[in-house]
Structure 1
Amino acid sequence: MPIVSRRMTEPPLGTAARLQLMWLASPALPVGGFSYSEALEAAVEAGLVSNEAQAATWLKDQLHLSLARADLAVVSRAIGAWLRSDLPRLTELNDWVRLTRETAELRLQTEQMGRSLVEWLKTRQSTQPQPDPRIDQCASLKPAPTWPVAFALAAAQCLPSGSQTQGAAVKEALLSFAFGWAENMVQAAIKAVPLGQSAGQRILQSLTEHIPPAIEQALQLPDSQRQAFTPMLAILSSQHEIQYSRLFRS
């Protein structure tokens, strides 16, 4: 007689929630993500990225060394905090993101995108029957809501509040966050290197293979090991601030 496991499995997200997360990953989301290259443009200017292979390597390194150890980890914690309406924890996470941005332009990027997402959430809320008080709480974060914390709120609005489904749902939200970042960065590489559309699609395919392990890394990362330490990225971002000719804001 087969043994039936008693462990309860987590049901998949509903269609509406999954579509909402896809929406958050869209480059059409009006938060200005397309206007940033996160120092990739400076890497091109410095001759560090000049072809498809180098662009792919650069973005994979950034995914694992920067995004997984910082923003993805923050999003995963912030979603739970929004579901609990834990404003002190959210303030702590928001301050950490802002204070660990290694250059002025990277800090301005996360604040501008965070503010823009909150404005979009306010506009979307006008069509909803019930207001969400968490949007005003997010807007009140000083000096601005950062992009990972604001994204976590948008994702939390899509997710079930029950703890039984939270683990799998948070992972799907992180997939949305990471894929949205990957698509924006590939588009930046296409313009800055420059590359063709086919090369961009190959880079995106490579990044999608690296995103799941990066998410697992972020989910398992304790707060004490969360970090924002990418010296080369910081140096290039600083140089980009005074770069003579540029397409992107970072």
Structure 2
Amino acid sequence: MQLPVNRFKQALKDGRMQWGIWQTFGGPDMAELLAASGYDWVLIDGEHGAFDVGEIRPCLQAVAGYPDCSPVVRLCELDTALIKRNLDQGAQTLMVPMINTAAEARAAVSAMRFAPEGTRGFNSATRAGRYGAIADYGTRAKDELCLIVQLESRAALGNLEEIAAVEGVDAVFIGPADLAADMGYPGNLAAPEVQDAVEDAIARLKALGMPAGIFTLDPEMQRRAIAAGASFNALGLDALMLMQAAQARLAQFRGA
């Protein structure tokens, strides 16, 4: 059996625009619904979403039935055990939040690779290795793994070039909400200083040839980010989209 191709990683290399959507509600049905809706990638949010490690596995299996959609798993923090367990259960693309230094980025890369390049514990008899059916999983696993580091602070943006230069970092995701809070504008992504910082970070990443992404519900920030070079962009979040649809439906009839 061949190692599954990471279509998300390949699209990053090709420079293709990829549109994503955020899953915070747990369960494979939500994952499948979002995958079926036509987005290029679904982020299964293990940071703020309703997921323990084992609850991510059926979501990965649900998305696997949609070859035009790729799952991305966001961890709650940089943790070698979390990285190992999510890789073993078949995640090929991980997003690690709150990366502030090149040393932290290198630690994430190490946790994703088997020795002698890294510290990931070896086991090929997992879902990732198709339960032993992929004979060369140990030597080829890293080829189809994709690491996205998330920069969400002024310190991280100050270290952007050093972080992006770490071998094994495949893409950088800018987190505008936490960045805005760190800059003294909690909840105010529209602050000009925040928008300028996001746009500048993405432009710097583009100049380095590093794929950049963002999630924002601010249309102006989204447009500026895309113009600056953001190539994988999340456009919505399940909870907010459901609330907006529910409120809009009620408004059609209440008081009519």
Q: TM-score, normalised by structure 2?
A: 0.27
Larger RCO of the pair (alpha carbons < 8 Å, separation 6+)? 1
The structure with more strand, counted as a fraction of residues: 2
Q: TM-score, normalised by structure 1?
A: 0.27
The structure with more helix, counted as a fraction of residues: 1
